[in-house]
Amino acid sequence: MVTIVVDTKEIQADDGKSVLQTCLEHGIFIPNLCFMKSREHPHASCRLCFVEIYGIDQPVTSCTERVREGLVVLTATARARRLQQAAFKLLMSAHHCRPKACPVRGGCQLIRIARHLKVGLNSQPLERLERAIDEEVDLGLFTYYPFRCVLCGRCVHVCRQRTGHNLLTFAGRGLKTVVALFGGGDLAAAPCRHCGACATVCPTGALVLKGEQGRAASADSSLRAPQIPPR
């Protein structure tokens, strides 16, 4: 164990654990979407989790920074906030938010991050990016809504971890990037375990299990923690 300080709070933390996970476990929320504690090498693709660390010139992503003795972390400085807000607005410029039609209205991570950062769910003043992709894709067991997808990779990772196969993958490039079934087709014809983990870890309601299985899987809240900020 080592001692670190986060926003004036002294914390006993596990040496080598990520700063983000340590903060979340101690009730200190830092915006994040792509982080999963089971990911040994974080993707750091959402760029939401910036913090400042005493002695380091530039803000760093807290999911890639490791805890060590004497670390002093600041999670809400003006510079860190600006970067968190800029990353969120960029993300929302490609995410078409329709809260009334969203299946995870109450639990959507984007709404909670927007509240935390005190920014709206639209991307202003950034231009809204038009993406030439389908509104809705039938994957057999699931419905996938590309415009809600923030390409965090959580579904791809959890599926690979559970099955040992690359059933889910990213397809397309640039603004056309979407989650797809490896090799095309639908999940009913793939070696899918129907475990529902991919939909459960999705922070935005982009991947929704159909019917009863959807409701059963969404009850598995252990997969979601510790993402949720305190209200």
Kindly list the residues in this chain that would bind ligand FES in the complex (CB under 6 A).
Answer: 32-35, 44-49, 61, 63
What are 5's strand-pairing partners? 10, 72
Q: Are strands 137-138 and 60-61 parallel, antiparallel or unpaired?
A: unpaired
Residue 152 binds ligand SF4 (CB under 6 A)? yes
Residue 208 binds ligand SF4 (CB under 6 A)? no
Residue 92 binds ligand SF4 (CB under 6 A)? no
CA atoms within 13 A on the CB side of 24: 21
- Pick one of ligand FES, ligand SF4, none as the site partner of residue 192 (Cβ within 5 to 8 A by kind): ligand SF4
- Pick one of ligand FES, ligand SF4, none as the site partner of residue 179 (Cβ within 5 to 8 A by kind): ligand SF4
- For residues 137, 133, 170, 168, the Cα torsion angle rounded to the nearest 10 degrees is 0
Q: Which of 19, 97, 119, 155 binds ligand SF4 (CB under 6 A)?
A: 155
Q: Which secondary structure element, helix H or strand E, spans residue 218, and what is its range? A: helix 211-218
Nearest distance from residue 192's CB to ligand FES, in Å? 26
Could you tell me which stretch among 13-21, 41-49, 109-117, 152-160 binds ligand SF4 (CB under 6 A)?
Answer: 152-160
What are 185's strand-pairing partners? none
- Rounded Cα distance between 8 and 25, Å, is 16
Q: In terms of CB distance, is 20 or 190 closer to ligand FES? A: 20
Query: How far, in Å, are 101, 127, 136, 193 from residue 212 at the CA level?
Result: 19, 39, 20, 15
Residues engaged in binding ligand SF4 (CB under 6 A): 149-155, 158-159, 162-163, 167-168, 179, 187, 192-198, 201-202, 204, 206-207
